[in-house]
Amino acid sequence: MQKLEIKGGRKISGTIVISGSKNATLPILASTILTNKKIIITNAPILRDVETMVGLLSTMGSTIKLNKKEKKIEIFNQKTLKTFAPYHLLKTMRAGVLVLGPLLAKYGMAKVSLPGGCAIGPRPINLHLDALKKMGANIKIKNGYIVASAKKGLKGCFIKFPKISVGATENILIASCFAKGKTKLRNCALEPEVQDLINFLKKLGCKINRVGKRSIDVTGVEKLKPITYRVIFDRIEAGTYIIAAALTNGRLKITNIDPKVMSTEINLLHKIGVKIIRKKNYVIVSCPKKLKSIHTMTKPYPGLPTDLQAQIMVLMTKAEGISTIRETIFENRFMHVSELRRMGAHIEIRGNKAKIIGKSKLNGAELMATDLRASVSLVLAGLVASNKTIVNRIYHLDRGYENIETKLSNCGAQIRRLK
């Protein structure tokens, strides 16, 4: 099993080009089930999860090609797709459940493996299933599979999500594009990745309108167009590298981004004392002053993203005084804390609140990654810890960070992948 070895104490300075967003690419790929026109997706991140989604669509009969060199995915569904999404593919990538909506909308049937929970929580999909039932789907759970049918097709209706959910918003958005009549979605997720999916679907020819802050109206269509679409940048990857520069007191240019999409994260990091100069498609990060402690919590967009919580926590170990972070999205997203404690961090957990005592000296250690964002927080800690840090089970990391050791070593980090 591969691991990363990091020798801490080096500044992260130079330039990092941010990749396309994993969490935009996955729903966009799932939505291509709707069309049999030629689709080209550019700025695609070359990541394990994207390869798994490409593999899933290919198993279903899609003509799909991932060009790693050009970061391009070409899709051309000339024949009817199989409506079966097997467990062995979904067990490693929960986002595979996003094929459920498009399969039902296009073919009126689907058999999709129930995505299990994961390290950060049980990850139920009741909101997805309840909404599809409201649209006329008949849904049963059998032997770990969702067995769904909509013989007369899906019908547009009024759906107010009882809880804000990125995946449920995306699944139902895609399904509504081929439903009969109008679907009114309320209490939707607003994440930039959801907006990118909307932009993609509208370019395809779908009729989607934002009619209020969390309200989206969709009118079903029948015909779609062949298009080329560039996926939005990965704001979580960008936030991670901003924190890497701040932690190590480097000076880093982060390009291929839109700082306007990251104003929540940038404003919070400003408050902590990180200097971030914003330009049209890049930022320049430095950390001239002492880091100040903060009290914050994760929230649905435009709040602080839960996917940056672990990384912010590492930054807080260096701040003056006591900081607190409340995790309000997932039930068990403090898996990185025990590993950070083994490096010397002083962090107390009470319920969903973490208390971080600042100015702790971190020492290198052998660590275990548990989930995608927890793993990257261990890499960040290794960059600023004394001595050597080994991060095991970095397959978690490879799901969401493209070429992390290359991007960091090109900016001064002493980091290498051990087979």
CA dist., res. 282 & res. 171, Å (int)? 31
Q: Select the residue interacting with ligand EPZ from 101, 136, 167, 364 (CB under 6 A).
A: 167
Nearer to ligand EPZ, 85 or 385 (CB): 85
By CB atoms closer than 10 A (0-12, 13-18, 19+), residue 254 is buried
Which of residues 319 and 340 has its CB atom nearest to ligand EPZ in the complex?
340
Can you spell out the DSSP letters for 49-86?
A: HHHHHHHHHHHTT--EEEETTTTEEEE---SPPP-EE-
Query: Using CB under 6 A, which of the segments 6-14, 38-46, 119-127, 177-185 binds ligand EPZ?
Result: 119-127
Q: Let me know: does 381 contact 244? Beta carbons within 8 Å.
A: no
Looking at beta carbons only, is 71 or 373 nearer to ligand EPZ? Answer: 373
Among 9, 55, 86, 121, binds ligand EPZ (CB under 6 A): 121
Residue 287 annotated to the active site? no
- Tell me the CA distances in angstroms from 167 to 4, 95, 183, 381, one per residue in order: 31, 8, 17, 30
Which residue in the list 118, 177, 188, 287 is annotated as catalytic? Answer: 118
Handedness of CA 356, 348, 368, 365 (dihedral sign): positive
Min CB(366)–ligand EPZ separation in Å: 24
396 binds ligand EPZ (CB under 6 A): no
The DSSP annotation for 150-171 comes to -TT--B--EEE-SS--HHHHHH
Which residues lie closer than 8 Å to 225 by C-beta, 6 or more apart? 37, 203, 204, 205
Q: Which region among 105-113, 159-167, 214-222, 224-232 touches ligand EPZ (by CB under 6 A)?
A: 159-167
**Token code pair at residue 44:** 């695609």
In this complex, which beta carbon is closest to ligand EPZ, that of residue 136 or of residue 167?
Answer: 167
Residues 400, 401, 407, 415: which binds ligand EPZ (CB under 6 A)? Answer: 400
Counting contacts by CB under 6 A, is residue 168 touching ligand EPZ? yes
Please tell me the total number of residues recorded for the chain in this structure.
419
Binding part of the chain for ligand EPZ, among 6-14, 39-47, 83-91, 120-128 by CB under 6 A, reads 120-128
- Where is 263: in which H helix or E strand? helix 263-272
Interface with ligand EPZ (CB under 6 A), residue from 3, 7, 111, 123: 123
Q: Minimum distance between the CB of residue 188 and ligand EPZ, rounded to whole angstroms? A: 11
The residue sitting closest to ligand EPZ, measured at its beta carbon, is: 167
**CB-wise, 98 or 287, nearer to ligand EPZ?**
98
What mask of x and - would describe binding to ligand EPZ in positions 59 to 98, judged by CB under 6 A?
------------------------------------x---
Does position 237 bind ligand EPZ by CB under 6 A? Answer: no
The C-alpha torsion from 344 through 350 and 354 to 357, rounded to 10°, is: -50
- Measured from the CB atom, the residue of 62 and 165 that comes closer to ligand EPZ is 165
Q: Which stretch binds ligand EPZ (CB under 6 A): 72-80, 116-124, 217-225, 349-357?
A: 116-124
**Per-residue x/- track, 175-194, ligand EPZ (CB under 6 A):** --------------x-x---
- Pick left, alpha or beta for residue 181 (phi over 0 → left; psi -120 to 50 → alpha; otherwise beta): left
- CA 143, 146, 150: angle at the middle one, nearest 5? 135
**CA–CA dist 401, 45 (Å, integer):** 8
Identity at 166, one-letter amino acid code: V
Separation CA 89–CA 225 (nearest Å): 29
Which residues contact ligand EPZ by CB under 6 A?
A: 23, 26, 95, 121, 123-128, 163, 165-168, 189, 191, 306-307, 329-330, 372-373, 400
Catalytic positions, written as ranges:
118
